[in-house]
Structure 1
């Protein structure tokens, strides 16, 4: 059964830099051997995440790239897709965009901002995924 996991930002380091949580989730996916597709909300966010994945842990490299940059993107473990790119869906998708992920995944990860006023679209997505019959879970981070 497909599932949706919502990660609620709470810890100060994630409040200051929400993309650090994305890096942590990407690391978990790589360690679990699950190729991850990250749907970035903008080209600028894709670039920022690309830079952060190089530097967030000096002792570890997570293979990643931005979609459209090279030919062998099927092979890379973490593929970051800005809105103008539409690479093939993967089983594991991390969504940073405002709209729900279309079907085709086994598991979707949603990062919920610490700011209560920014959580409206996430509540709508929670309801949307539940209406599709997904198993929906919340994690406090």
Structure 2
């Protein structure tokens, strides 16, 4: 089966507002997840954010700085590693997709207000489609929901 690749075009909310909800949906489905960030600094910022994004909940996760990465339901990284055997890989903060082999789903979130990020997403679309991935494009609605555009 081909890997499903979802492109999420952020227009009305930042990544920090959107990512926790998407990760929680993955955990509700008992999926293990890797979130690949564009930099080590972004990993550290998201690590702190996922512990404190809500007053009444948190997202269990870890990074290379934590013990037992193989047991983390969500693993944050700035590289291609997948120590928890994740079947879902998120690419954020302009992280570059590597191999899609072994993943059920790749989720690429990009800032629609950043022309360079938009151009890179278009390039990734073409490349991943050429690799045989099933690609879909979702644009954020003003209320924060998603609308499938392609």
TM bucket normalised to smaller? 0.7 to 0.9
CA-CA distance at 1:25 after TM superposition: 1.5
Q: How many residues align?
A: 135
Structure 2 residue 51 is matched with structure 1 residue 50: no
- Measure the CA separation in 1 of the matches of 2:137 and 2:41: 28
Give the equivalent residue in structure 2 for 1:92. 88
Whether the aligned pair in 2 keeps the contact of 1:20 and 1:52 (CA below 8 Å) is no
Aligned-pair RMSD on alpha carbons? 1.7
Structure 1 length normalisation: TM-score? 0.86
Whether 2:113 is the aligned partner of 1:115: answer: yes
Unaligned ranges ≥5, structure 2: 141-150
Structure 1 CA distance for aligned equivalents of residues 67 and 46 of structure 2: 20
Aligned counterpart, 2:144: none
Shift in Å, 1:80: 0.0
Q: Taking structure 2 as the reference length, what is the TM-score of the superposition?
A: 0.81
List gaps (5 residues or longer) in structure 1.
none
2:129 match: 130
Q: Give, in whole Å, the separation in 2 of the partners of 1:63 and 1:116.
A: 30
Query: 2:5 aligns to what?
Result: 4
1:60 match: secondary structure:
coil
Given that residues 30 and 77 in structure 1 are in contact (C-alpha distance below 8 angstroms), is that contact kept between their aligned partners in structure 2?
yes
